[in-house]
Structures are given as C-alpha cells and as structure tokens.
Structure 1
Amino acid sequence: MQTKDIITKKLTEAFAPESLRVEDESHLHAGHAGHRPGGQTHYRVYIVSEAFRGKTRVERHRAINAALATELAGNVHALAVHASSPGESGQ
C-alpha cells in the first residue's frame, strides 16, 4: 500500500472528513533534505471535518500528527496541513 493511501485511510478513520485530499509532493523536493529515491516523503493534506470545529490550528495539527505518528516517525519527512471545519474559508 502506498503511503498516500495509508494517510488517506488513517485520516478518514480518525476524522470522518467531509472532504480530504492528500497530495504527494515528493517530486518537488528532489535534492532536498529528507527526499529519497522513489519519493513518498513529502505530503500536503487538505481536510475538512466537523471534528475540527472549535479547535485551534495547533490543536488540529496535533490531532493529525497523532493520527499519523507511525508515518511521521518513519518514511514521511514533511507534512503540510490545511485543516478546517465545514464552512470555514481557506480550502
């Protein structure tokens, strides 16, 4: 299973999002720290979930990082997060 698929599965299970998009941006980081041949190192996540309502940006990021702790401790070098609750702008 690709890392992108694992991230998608874990975030879906943890947050039941209205929308979720996971982008593998590893190709943009060739030659930079953390990049490995074959990629699967740098990701950007766009997620909208009711679970984030009333939470600060830091609380949202911490929750996502906790859900993806295994991946962040392993192959994933960088994760950019855009998390919001339904109706918020910025997506």
Structure 2
Amino acid sequence: MTLHADSVPLREQILQRLAVLQPELVELDDDSAAHAGHAGAAGGGGHFSLMLVSPAFTGCSRIERHRRVYAALGELIPSHIHALSLRAYAPDEL
C-alpha cells in the first residue's frame, strides 16, 4: 500500500527525508504552539527545532551542513516548514 504524502504526518515526512543523511541522532521538536497567531503559523504550524548528528557533516562548514539539511527536506521548506531552528553536528563534536 502506497501512502499519499498528505496522509503522512509532517513529522514523519521530515524524518523520512532526513534519513538520506544517515543520522546517528535526531531530535525534532514541533514548536508551532509557541507561535500561534504568528503570520507564518496561519496554516497550522510549521515551526520546528532540529538537532541532527550525522557523519555526513564531518569536515563540513556550518553553512554546508545547513544546505545539506535543506536539500534533504526539499519542497517541505517553505510549503510545510515555515521556520527551522537547526543544530547540525558531526559525531565527534558531541
């Protein structure tokens, strides 16, 4: 059975897309409730905090790490993710 993307919760879509980075640790928090009434939250949310540890970030600058995450998330930004607070680390940085 194939699920349509709209039937998969946003949190699960995000985690599925981040799998391409082969993360060792993912902490994903939906902060949308704290932004109720904010213009960007008018569609029902989309504010997240993400901490990601991946060997894919070894030797990468902070900017390159963020680019890799944004590339993995694709069109979810900005269609479903309005704001993303991101912390990205290589395994040896913890």
TM-score class, shorter: 0.7 to 0.9
- The amino acid across from 2:81 in the alignment is V
Consecutive unaligned residues of structure 2, counting only runs of 5 or more, are 1-7
Please point out which of 58, 65, 71 is paired with 1:66: 71
**1:27-54 superposed Cα distances (whole Å, 9 cap, x missing partner):** 0111113113543x11111100000000
TM-score by length of 1: 0.88
Instruction: Tell whether 2:31 aligns with 1:11.
Output: no
Task: Name stretches of at least 5 consecutive residues in structure 1 with no aligned partner.
Answer: none
Which of structures 1 and 2 has the bigger CA Rg? Answer: 2
Helix, strand or coil at the partner of 2:88: strand
| TM-score normalized with structure 2 length | 0.85
The verdict on how the C-alpha distance between 1:66 and 1:37 changes in structure 2, with shifts beyond 3 A counting, is closer
Question: What secondary structure, in the 3-state scheme, does the structure 2 residue paired with 1:21 have?
Answer: strand
The one-letter code of the counterpart of 1:11 is: L
Considering fraction of residues, name the structure with more helix: 2
Which amino acid in 2 is paired with 1:26? S
1:27 maps to 33
Give the match for residue 4 of structure 2: none
Identity %: 39
In structure 1, what is the Cα distance between the partners aligned to 2:43 and 2:58?
Answer: 38
Q: Deviations over 1:59-85 (max 9, x none)?
A: 000111111121003121111111000
